[in-house]
Structure 1
Amino acid sequence: MNLFWRDHRLLIIVHILQAIIVGSILFLDPGAEPTSLMYAIFLSFLLLTGYLVYRYFVLAPYYKKLTDVSSGHHDFKIEGNHPLILAHNQLLARYYNQHQAEQHQLEIRKNQQVQFMTQWVHQMKTPVSVMNLITQNEADYHEYPALRTELKRLEKGLDLALHTARFEQFEQDFRIKSVQIKTLVQQVVQENKRLFILKEMYPKIDVDNEMYVSTDPKWLVFMLDQIIVNAIKYTKDSGKHLVIETIIADHKPTLKITDQGVGIQAADLPMIQRPFYTGENGRKYGESTGMGLHLVYQLCEKLHIKIDIQSKVGNGTTVTLQFPTR
């Protein structure tokens, strides 16, 4: 209603001024009757009122749509046969079709980029695998420790790029099944044993053999790998421990991963789930892309896993993953 009056304010002002001017002219005419003057002004305002009432009821859906900001829907079509409403619907339809065409092109380009990234990662994995096989000769192992470490870092980076590319198609690439937590934890620890040896860091696994959860094992292994590799990366002193244990919290199976690393700044904790955010540790120690924990948070949301990260500078970090009961 307010928009309607603002839209017709100028018309009403002009009509009032017109009535004043015409009334003044007739009033100055010696032959004009006062009753005729009042009757003319009355008819003029009666016609204006009728016009405004008609226009309000005809354009009421239009004004309501323009002022309704709390509906929450995206249907911008307005019902009515008024030329203004028809022109409005035609304009929006034209822009909508243009937007859909542009969005379709963007989807095509995005899928092409994902496909290219996936193919590129797989192509890069082949020479990495060959170099790993070459350096696995135990007789020559003393010549290759640095090379094997760098190959492991390269392999981790390729896995991160591959999972980042696949995440956009997560709904097409996950399978929920009952999995044993201990088996997956041991798998991730075994895959990173050379990093543990390099940092002289000792994993302590206290995981219940009988604890099973319903989740996607492939994505969960990726999440555990990101968390454990981060724990190793940001533990600078030798002889430290990484404790991996399971508990029951709020009647739900829960996995806790506690390190004795450098910890995370309090100011960085609320923002570690942002993409490409490296924080103080990323600037100080390097080797951080800011995508690992971001993907972990996104995957937890997809898999309905509650994640909590508590940390104190100098005292290490504890990552808690609470799984749904079913």
Structure 2
Amino acid sequence: MIGLTLLLFLSVFILFDLPLDVYIIAASIVLFISVIYWIIAFITFKKEMKLADELRENQALLKQLRNEHNDYRDEVESYFLLWVHQMKTPITAVKLLLEHPDDDMISLVRQEVLQIDNYTNLTLSYLKLMNTTTDMTFSQVKLDDLILPLLKKYSILFIHYHTKLHYEPIDDFVLTDARWSSIMVEQLLNNALKYARGGDIWITFDNREHQLDIRDNGVGISDTDLPKIFDRGFSGFNGRLNDKSSGLGLYITSTVGRRLNQPVTVKSNAGQGSTFTIHFKSPQSNLSFL
């Protein structure tokens, strides 16, 4: 359009035999106005592109938040369906035991109540873990203070299943969150009791490597199940044989371990038992938390 305008001006100037200087001035004015127009148009275009990019980013973020919300809702719903199913078993057992109460039944009732308590605590821990803003407070913690209350809590299962405990007092300190580490130890202990009934459980601590081992000589874990035991909801072959396995205890343990920067590893052979290890940090360590 600018070219046609300048050509029209030139034709007029030629037809009317006007001075060329006047044409140059007119052409310069046209070009000057065009340059200003181009600059304004370019700035406007850049603003529109920026707004379009921001709109796309906001739409993508909104979609992501919506998907996360739907995933969270589905995850909570699926877990609570599982939780309700898991809770029905010990509650039904308690009701049946209380129909014909006697001294022998008291121990069985206590076991079922312990399972209810464990499932409830597992649910609360799971919900807290789903909240990424959950606080974790680190301090020097004596391992005996973590382990002894759990041994007392589960003593009824050791007695009932005739499982032998090998444990010496551990006076060493580690740097961790006491509450969450207690959850980790409890789930590993509960797991060992579940699959080493009538066997032996060893709890030992390597103060040089700052590693807490919970070892048993129970049924062990097959090579095919071993890579997946920390996946959410995975119970494996042993878990399918045990109707009280939710497949969440080891998932929570592993997730807490990552949050605390104290990973959990496992060594196991089918029919020979398993060793779960919590890799703590020493009280003098400089931690970079995840």
User: TM-score scaled by structure 2?
Assistant: 0.67
Matching residue of 2:36: none
Query: Following the alignment from structure 2 to structure 1, what is the Cα–Cα distance between the partners of residues 258 and 189?
Result: 19
Q: 1:243 pairs with 202, 205, 218, which one?
A: 202
Matching residue of 1:168: 130
Matching residue of 1:194: 156
**CA shift in 2, pair 1:81/1:260, >3 Å:** farther
Matching residue of 1:316: 273
Matching residue of 1:19: none
Query: Following the alignment from structure 1 to structure 2, what is the Cα–Cα distance between the partners of residues 318 and 308?
Result: 8
Percent identity over the alignment is 24
Matching residue of 2:238: 281
1:263 equivalent to 2:225? Answer no
Query: Following the alignment from structure 1 to structure 2, what is the Cα–Cα distance between the partners of residues 213 and 170?
Result: 24
Cα displacement (A) at 1:226: 0.4
Secondary structure of residue in 2 paired with 1:242: strand
**For each residue in 1:68-115, what CA deviation from the matched residue of structure 2 results, as whole angstroms up to 9, or x when unmatched?**
xxxxxxxxxxxx94998766544432232234445556677859x97x
Cα displacement (A) at 1:198: 1.8
**CA shift in 2, pair 1:107/1:275, >3 Å:** closer
Matching residue of 1:224: 185
**For each residue in 1:22-58, what CA deviation from the matched residue of structure 2 results, as whole angstroms up to 9, or x when unmatched?**
xxxxxxxxxxxxxxxxxxxxxxxxxxxxxxxxxxxxx
**CA shift in 2, pair 1:82/1:293, >3 Å:** same
Q: 1:97 pairs with 49, 58, 61, which one?
A: 58
Secondary structure of residue in 2 paired with 1:245: strand
Secondary structure of residue in 2 paired with 1:320: strand
Cα displacement (A) at 1:147: 2.3
**CA shift in 2, pair 1:170/1:204, >3 Å:** farther
Q: 1:152 pairs with 114, 125, 149, which one?
A: 114
Cα displacement (A) at 1:294: 1.1
Q: What stretches of structure 1 of length at least 5 have no aligned partner? A: 1-79
Query: Following the alignment from structure 1 to structure 2, what is the Cα–Cα distance between the partners of residues 268 and 143?
Result: 36
Matching residue of 1:307: 264
Deviates further, 140-149 or 295-304: 140-149
Secondary structure of residue in 2 paired with 1:213: strand
**CA shift in 2, pair 1:164/1:265, >3 Å:** same
Equivalent pair of 1:206/1:246 in contact (CA under 8 Å):
no
Deviates further, 293-302 or 85-94: 85-94
Matching residue of 1:291: 248
1:234 equivalent to 2:195? Answer yes
User: TM-score scaled by structure 1?
Assistant: 0.60
Equivalent pair of 1:206/1:243 in contact (CA under 8 Å):
no
Query: Following the alignment from structure 1 to structure 2, what is the Cα–Cα distance between the partners of residues 81 and 241?
Result: 78
Secondary structure of residue in 2 paired with 1:172: coil
Q: What stretches of structure 2 of length at least 5 have no aligned partner? A: 1-40, 286-290
Amino acid at match of 1:243: W
Return the structure number with greater relative CO, CA threshold 8 A, min gap 6: 2
Secondary structure of residue in 2 paired with 1:144: helix
Task: Tell me the matched-pair count.
Answer: 224
Equivalent pair of 1:207/1:245 in contact (CA under 8 Å):
no
